[in-house]
Amino acid sequence: MEFKARPDPPKFTFVILTLLACVFAAAGLNAYLIRTDAAGDALWNSKEAYFFISRARFGWHVRWIGYPLMVAGKIFGYIEPPDDRSETMYVLRVTSSGVERHVLDLQDGQAGGPSMLTPIGDRIWTNFPALGGLCWWAGDHFERSTQEESRGLGGIEHLWHLNNRAYRDEGGWWNAGVAPDQTVVISLEDGTEISAYGGGRRVPLSIQMRKQGGEPSTVFSVDTGAGLVGGSNYQHAFRSPQ
């Protein structure tokens, strides 16, 4: 007569209980995922450079039991709409004497953030639909133009026309995009060199400054990429700009 080994009852019960605990945890606990994108514009002349960098964060929270389906959907080209979104704009003015920084919280992404940034005269103009259209950078915020200013400038159409050139040199100004995997190098008249690297997958967008004869130093950096985070970090990420 042949005897077959039977599972050890205590160990078998422990395995079953562990599996059930994992299933209940996966059904009840959330996985938190954040993706961060960053890009912007560089505007400069021989004496100063401006950087308008937008950082957009997208957040998802899903039960762990559904997380594999979310990943599978991404593999096949379907991306779930984010549960949370925030957008922050960093404005840097760089001269040979130092760096001036400002942080603007674009509430709820403001789908109409600043675009077509254009130096004209002694101002940097932009199309900012969330603030009503034509605006200008007032040193620490964007100011909406008056009707007289808009008429004198030619409105948004004039900005659109200028920004559809391959490059622009108006009043000594130049512009370039700060985009992933691209580098912008700017030289000021006193020998100061500024390099902006648009970053890439899990590589920060960064701006470095090197004075004549000196070593380069990082004056700005913002992480990009996607990954899982803890619940407290997720809540903090969508609470306020950093």
Residue 70 CA neighbour count, 13 Å, CB half: 16
32-46: pLDDT as tens digits? 999 999 999 999 999
Q: What is the pLDDT of residue 142?
A: 95
Question: Chain-centre distance of CA 84, in angstroms?
Answer: 14
Collect all residues with Cβ–Cβ distance below 8 Å to 21 and sequence separation of at least 6. Answer: none
Partners of 51 in beta bridges = 42, 92
Partners of 205 in beta bridges = 222
Q: What is the pLDDT of residue 79?
A: 75
Q: What is the DSSP string of 16-52?
A: HHHHHHHHHHHHHSEEEEEEEEEEEEEEE-SS-EEEE
Q: What is the pLDDT of residue 20?
A: 39
72-123: pLDDT as tens digits? 766 777 778 888 988 999 999 999 888 999 999 886 544 567 888 988 888 9
In tens digits, the chain (242 residues) has pLDDT values of 454 555 555 555 544 544 434 444 444 478 899 999 999 999 999 999 999 999 999 999 888 777 777 667 667 777 788 889 889 999 999 998 889 999 998 865 445 678 889 888 889 999 998 888 999 999 999 999 999 999 988 888 878 767 766 556 667 888 889 999 899 999 999 999 999 999 887 789 999 999 887 899 999 999 998 888 888 889 888 875 45
Q: Which residue has the tokens 């789908």?
A: 111
Question: Chain-centre distance of CA 92, in angstroms?
Answer: 15
User: How many CB atoms within 10 Å of residue 91?
Assistant: 21
Q: Which ranges of the chain does DSSP label H, i.e. alpha helix? A: 9-28, 67-75, 147-153, 155-163, 231-237
Which tokens in the block code for residue 60?
A: 């998802």
Q: Please, what's the b/e burial string for 133-168 (b: 16 or more CB within 10 A of its CB; e: otherwise)? A: ebbbbeeeebeebeeebbeebeebebbeebeeeeeb
Domain extents in the chain: 34-237
Q: What is the pLDDT of residue 21?
A: 43
Q: Which helix (H) or strand (E) holds 117?
A: strand 115-120
SS3 call for 201: coil
